[in-house]
A and B are shown apart, each in its own frame.
Chain A
Amino acid sequence: MAGLITSQGSVALDRPAWIALGRSDSVPRGQGRCFAVGRFRIAVFRSRDNTVRALENACPHQGGPLADGVVGAGMVVCPLHAHRFRLADGSGVDTTLSARSFAAEIRDGFIFVAIPADA
């Protein structure tokens, strides 16, 4: 069960793994894009000041693609029914639902996300 198969090879998830998703400019500033990492679909958002945040690309309400949402003020607005979630931790702004969040950062121009051990 443990482990993650990506196009870069497989990653053992015996401890948390930082995985490079691609160059930072694959996510235009102020927008989000969805990345496929093994069985995960991760929405990565890059702010206008070049910080990245990552949430599971499925709105907890009805599975909407959060990566397609409008972003700002530290939130993303789901494109389906406009529920808002904080990018920092996935918590809902106007709902008790929350989206799963992943740690993310830019290193050397590449976007990295942390996949928890045995996720």
Chain B
Amino acid sequence: MQIEKTRLLVIGTGMAAGRAIDEITQRAPGRFDITMFGAEPHTVYNRILLSDVLAGSKSPEGIFLYTTEWFESRGVKLIAGVKIEKIDRARKVVIDAAGREERYDKLIIATGSLPLVPPIENLNLPGFFVFRTITDCQLIAGYARRCRRAAVIGGGLLGIEAARGLLNHGLEVTVIEVMPYPMVQQLDPDSGAMLTRRLEALGLRFLFEKATQSVLGANAVRGLTFKDGSEIETDMVVVSCGIRPNVKLAVEADLKVERAIVCDDHLQTSDADIYAVGECVEHRGRVYGLVAPLFAQARVLADHLTGADRTAAYAGSKLSTRLKVMGVDLVSAGDARPFDGPGVAVTRYIEPERGVYKKLVVRDGKITGAILLGEVDGASAVMSAYENETVLGERRADLLFGGGVAQADGVGALALTATVCSCHQINKGPLIATITAGCQLDQLGAQTRAGTGCGGCRPQLEALVAAYGKTDPSAAWYVKAVPLAKPELVAAIKRQGLRSVSAVLHELGDGSDDPLSKPGLASLLRTIWGAQYEDERDARFINDRVHANIQHDGTFSVVPRIPGGVTSPAQLRRLADVAEKYNVGMVKITGGQRIDLLGIKKEDLPGVWRDLGMPSGHAYTKAFRTCKTCVGTDFCRYGVGDSTSLGIAIETRFQGIEAPHKLKLAVSGCARNCAEATVKDIGAVAIPDGWQVCVGGAAGLRVRAADLLATVATPDEVLRVIGRFIQYYRENARYAERSPAFVERVGIERLRTVLLDESSDEVRRLDQAIAAEVANYRDPWREGHAPVEVTQFASEIPA
């Protein structure tokens, strides 16, 4: 006999609904027959990240939280794109727009909220948008293409994020706010003014104390008028003035509704078989519009509905927010607006030049409000103290100026029951348990969800892993699949004569052919064996199989070698012809003084190379890339050394030499250093009587001035010293270790000792090894004529 499952229907597919179902199916797998109805035609997505979709930094799919496979695996039926029109409580059915009925035993209302649109005249025009859903984003982005100017009505958190997103579409964007400063929910006037300056520096414009009267335009938006009689011209308008709970279904079903659907501490409505969760809920007189409270509600709802914990009760949430705008750091908690009162102490730190503003509102020793703008180093500690109602010490500065060490102390000082991740309400105790069970930082999100909401607690998670994590012995290994550090691995490979990646994995490895380990081993074997290396194509990253750099859409970029950045009219003409013939998506002058052809299909690569008749520039692999030059003595009136000739000689000699990571070089003809040689992996700078060679520079994620390795008299000596350094780096650097880290680890003094002793055997050996490698060099683009596999350049094979 089969017992019929409880039929659970969910109206809504927002974040609260998704989370509730996730929690319910975890607690009671298979117990409910669950169907979710969503008006939006998508699966559950992360609405917080919509501004990233609008900005183009994320695709709509990139913010999906649960896949359709996930719903299948949890046995949940997802009906997306169907709007429920009515709840018939007497018959316990819901009815959709087409009149279809679905019966329920238990019902969850998660209808969220609707955009709040102020009373504005003439708003039904093309070019007038609200900002609430993926579809809204797509409509806005599509319309923005034909616009020059946009206005965003609403200077709150979402309005600012939307406005920042619109800047990425190349528009002039004006934010219109009724109040005298932005984000009045979170900020006070001083911090508001500071934030305004920050955002203006990013290109946003602001109009404050402007109440919109009407939209101008007959066939499309043309401008806005304000109640003070002024007006502006604009091509489109996006409204982001806040939200109102979507309670129509509940009102019509005669549930108790005040500002929103009234729920008790179990998230039950006035009908015990009907629960509600999310922005449509009113709990103890409060309505929430942030993600952490919704998740907390979802947990309580799941505990109560499944019976996992009938006593679970929602007690309300504390509010904190983080503005997600690139280049602006702002965190706020609680109520930090100006107010006085007994027992209230306000601590402020203001640094106008750098746009830093920090404020703590403390009542009876506990934080009740905080603003951190411009420098959020201490944010984690402040947020934890707020969330956990920690009684503060006397020195408030410790909290405001946390810094890395103080933060580690901060999390160390927390109780085990203290919240670390406030988005997902994850406490310190369970995190420590997970970490001591062997979980590493990169897996912590997948295992516990911590850090996967706003990401604000990541510094604390790092501190916890550092404090409680097992020291990972594999950190010292060259690759994960072989438990040996590089020197021991090299010795074993040589001793046993292992010449292929599969041989190394088989003889020395852990038995797996870990895909993340294969490219590192291929690189190492190539360095050890040179021409005797047994190449296995499956160990290579795609870029090294087709000798081009894969792009986000699966096409490739092609950068031919132009030694020293010196080209010719004939070469430019050929490049132009190729770009036209193959419909190249973009022709780009690179930072390395070369020309990049982007958007080339895999199957076109051999033809492009053939028509170019130029060698590979290796702009896709861990190898010698390029050598920038200035014009040096050829034309420049300051040049003291022939930098172009030397740069061409360097690039011609070392082109394509593979290494643990890429090598970018430059040669400058005088100390003015126009080629920026001192922030390159290897640089040479002319001085009146010779050249300075420096190594370990960087101007990427981190900026580091290169260390001076040697001062030499002639270009030949420059070539020799560079060759030695490259070979030493190839033999001794860890896989994917760039030169700055390598130089710091080994030490410039040691490099000088080893590489500059002209009489030593080691130097002779290094010179011979790099010379052999140079002689062994073969242009990989020759494979265009003779593919190593029939389908090497096939992007798809028709069946």
Contact = CB atoms under 8 A, between A and B. Distances in A.
Interface string A93-118: 01111101000000000000000000
Interface stretch (B280-288, B368-376, B744-752, B788-796): B788-796
Interface string A1-36: 000001110000000000111100111111101111
A36 B797 contact: yes
Given A36-B796, A37-B799, A31 B538 contact: yes
A61 B62 contact: yes
Contacts of A6: 798-799
B81 interface: no
Nearest to B789: A28
B40 interface: no
A23 B790 CA distance: 12
Contacts of B517: 72
B59 A62 contact: yes
A27 to B, nearest CB: 7
B502 A26 contact: no
A100 B789 contact: no
Given A28-B791, A71-B538, A34 B66 contact: no
Interface string B50-70: 000000000101101011011
A41 B790 CA distance: 19
A77 B799 CA distance: 24
B442 interface: yes
Interface in B61-86: 61-62, 64, 66-67, 69-70
Nearest to A98: B69
A77 B517 CA distance: 11
A60 B64 CA distance: 10
Nearest to A68: B542
Interface string B237-260: 000000000000000000000000
Contacts of A34: 794-797
Contacts of A80: 550, 552
B61 A63 contact: yes
Given A30-B537, A95-B446, A98-B69, A70 B795 contact: no
B518 A70 contact: yes
A89 B536 CA distance: 26
A22 to B, nearest CB: 6
B513 interface: yes
Given A26-B797, A68-B542, A98 B513 contact: no
B443 interface: yes
Contacts of A35: 796-799
A94 B518 contact: no
Contacts of A75: 515
A28 B69 CA distance: 30
B539 to A, nearest CB: 8
A7 B67 contact: no
B541 interface: yes
Contact of A7 (B66, B502, B513, B798): B798
Given A31-B538, A96-B446, A97-B67, A21 B502 contact: no
Given A26-B791, A28-B538, A64-B554, A41 B515 contact: no
A69, A90, A95, A98 pick with most chain B CB within 10 angstroms: A98
Nearest to A40: B799
Contacts of B796: 34-36, 41, 57
Interface string B520-559: 0000000000000000111111100100001011100000
Contacts of B69: 90, 98, 100
B529 to A, nearest CB: 19
Contacts of A41: 796
B512 interface: yes
Interface string A30-58: 11011111000100000010000000010
A69 B502 CA distance: 17
Nearest to A97: B67
B537 A60 contact: no
A65, A69, A75, A94 pick with most chain B CB within 10 angstroms: A65
A62 B797 contact: no
A73 B513 contact: yes
A69 B67 contact: no
Contacts of B67: 60, 96-98
A22 B797 contact: yes
Nearest to A113: B799
Contact of A98 (B70, B512, B516, B519): B70
B442 A94 contact: yes
Nearest to A63: B61
Nearest to B550: A79
Given A63-B553, A80-B552, 6 more contacts: A6-B798, A30-B539, A35-B796, A36-B796, A70-B518, A72-B538
Interface of B: 59, 61-62, 64, 66-67, 69-70, 442-443, 446, 481, 502, 512-519, 536-542, 545, 550, 552-554, 789-791, 794-799
The 4 closest A-B pairs by CB, nearest first: A30-B538, A72-B515, A72-B513, A68-B542
7 contacts: A35-B799, A60-B67, A63-B554, A65-B550, A70-B515, A70-B541, A97-B67
